[in-house]
C-alpha cells in the first residue's frame, strides 16, 4: 500500500513528518506532494497509490479531488484550515484517522465530479474538472451577461444576469447555496443550474437529473469562467460556449467510523 500526503499552504513540516511517521510504524510507504506544485511532479507517482490524504482546508481538499477522482483514488481530508466543511479529520486527530483507515474502519461515499469544456468556435480553449461548481460571470464589467441555456440539445432559455453557475450536489451547499440555490443530498448525481442575480423574477434555479449535458452560450460578454472558486479564471468572450456534465468517474470520499 502507498499513500500520498498532499500538503496545502498551511501544512507545517512537523505535521507532515508526524503523518509519515504514523505510516512508517505500520510498514506503509508514504510520499508527499505540494498542492500548488506542477502536476508533472505528481502524476508519475500516482499509479499504485491507495489513498490521497489532504493536509489543509477545503481548498486543498478540492485540489486533491481533481487529482484523485479521474484515477479512482480514495481521498481523506485532514483539516488544518479555518472551515474544513469537506474534510473528515481535524489536525489533532490525524494519527487516529490514519490508523482507522489502515484498520479498515471506514466507508467510501461517492460524489459526482463536474467535467467542463470551454470552446471558442471550433477550438477547445480548456478542459477541466471540479467537485463543487463552475461559474461563468462578468469580469470586472458592471454590465450583465446574456447567456443562452441548452440542456441535452434542447433550448431552455436566455438569462440576463451577473452570471450563471452549474453545481454538483456537493457544491450545492457552497457558492450555489449562497446564490439562492437548493440544497441537494451530497451523494445525488443531479446537477443544479443557479442564475446569479438575474434580471427577472421568474428565473429560478433548476435541478437536472443525471446524464444531462448543460451548455452555456455567452451571447453577450465578456466574462470569466472559474471552477471551484479558483483564483485563476479563464476569460470568456461573446460567442464562447461552456459545456458542463458529469465526469464518468466519481470521487471516492473516505468517511471514518467512530
What does R_g of the chain's alpha carbons equal in angstroms?
Answer: 19
Query: Is 96 an annotated catalytic residue?
Result: no
Q: Catalytic residue, from 58, 162, 228, 240: name it.
A: 58
Contacts of 195 (CB under 8 A, 6+ apart): 159, 161, 163, 164, 165, 203, 204, 205
Assess contact for 64 and 75: CB atoms under 8 A: yes
Q: Angle, nearest 10°, between helix axes 94-102 and 13-25?
A: 30
| Exposed/middle/buried for residue 18 (C-beta within 10 Å: 0-12, 13-18, 19+) | middle
Distant-in-sequence, close-in-space partners of 221: CB < 8 Å, separation ≥ 6: 138, 145, 236, 237, 238, 239, 240
Task: Report, as residue numbers or ranges, the catalytic residues.
Answer: 58
Amino acid at each position: 500500500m502507498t499513500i500520498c500526503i498532499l500538503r496545502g499552504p498551511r501544512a507545517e513540516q512537523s505535521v507532515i513528518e508526524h503523518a509519515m511517521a504514523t505510516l512508517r510504524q505500520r510498514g506503509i510507504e508514504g510520499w508527499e506532494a505540494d498542492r500548488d506544485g506542477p502536476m508533472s511532479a505528481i502524476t508519475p507517482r500516482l499509479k499504485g497509490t491507495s489513498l490521497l490524504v489532504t493536509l489543509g482546508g477545503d481548498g486543498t481538499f478540492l485540489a486533491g479531488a481533481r487529482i484523485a477522482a479521474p484515477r479512482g483514488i480514495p481521498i481523506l481530508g485532514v483539516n488544518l484550515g479555518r472551515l474544513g466543511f469537506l474534510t473528515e479529520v481535524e489536525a489533532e486527530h490525524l494519527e487516529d484517522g490514519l490508523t482507522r483507515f489502515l484498520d479498515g474502519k471506514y466507508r467510501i461515499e461517492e460524489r459526482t465530479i463536474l467535467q467542463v469544456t470551454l470552446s471558442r468556435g471550433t477550438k477547445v480553449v480548456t478542459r477541466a474538472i471540479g467537485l463543487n461548481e463552475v461559474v461563468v460571470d462578468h469580469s470586472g464589467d458592471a454590465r450583465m451577461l446574456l447567456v443562452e441555456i441548452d440542456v441535452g440539445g434542447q433550448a431552455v432559455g436566455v438569462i440576463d444576469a451577473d452570471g450563471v453557475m452549474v453545481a454538483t450536489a456537493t457544491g450545492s451547499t457552497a457558492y450555489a447555496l449562497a446564490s439562492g440555490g437548493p440544497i441537494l443530498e451530497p451523494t445525488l448525481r443531479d446537477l443544479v443550474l443557479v442564475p446569479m442575480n438575474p434580471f427577472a423574477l421568474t428565473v429560478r434555479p433548476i435541478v437536472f437529473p443525471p446524464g444531462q449535458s448543460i451548455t452555456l452560450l455567452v451571447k453577450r460578454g465578456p466574462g470569466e469562467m472559474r471552477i471551484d472558486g479558483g483564483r485563476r479564471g479563464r476569460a470568456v468572450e461573446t460567442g464562447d460556449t461552456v459545456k458542463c456534465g458529469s465526469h464518468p468517474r466519481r470521487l471516492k470520499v473516505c468517511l471514518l467510523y467512530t
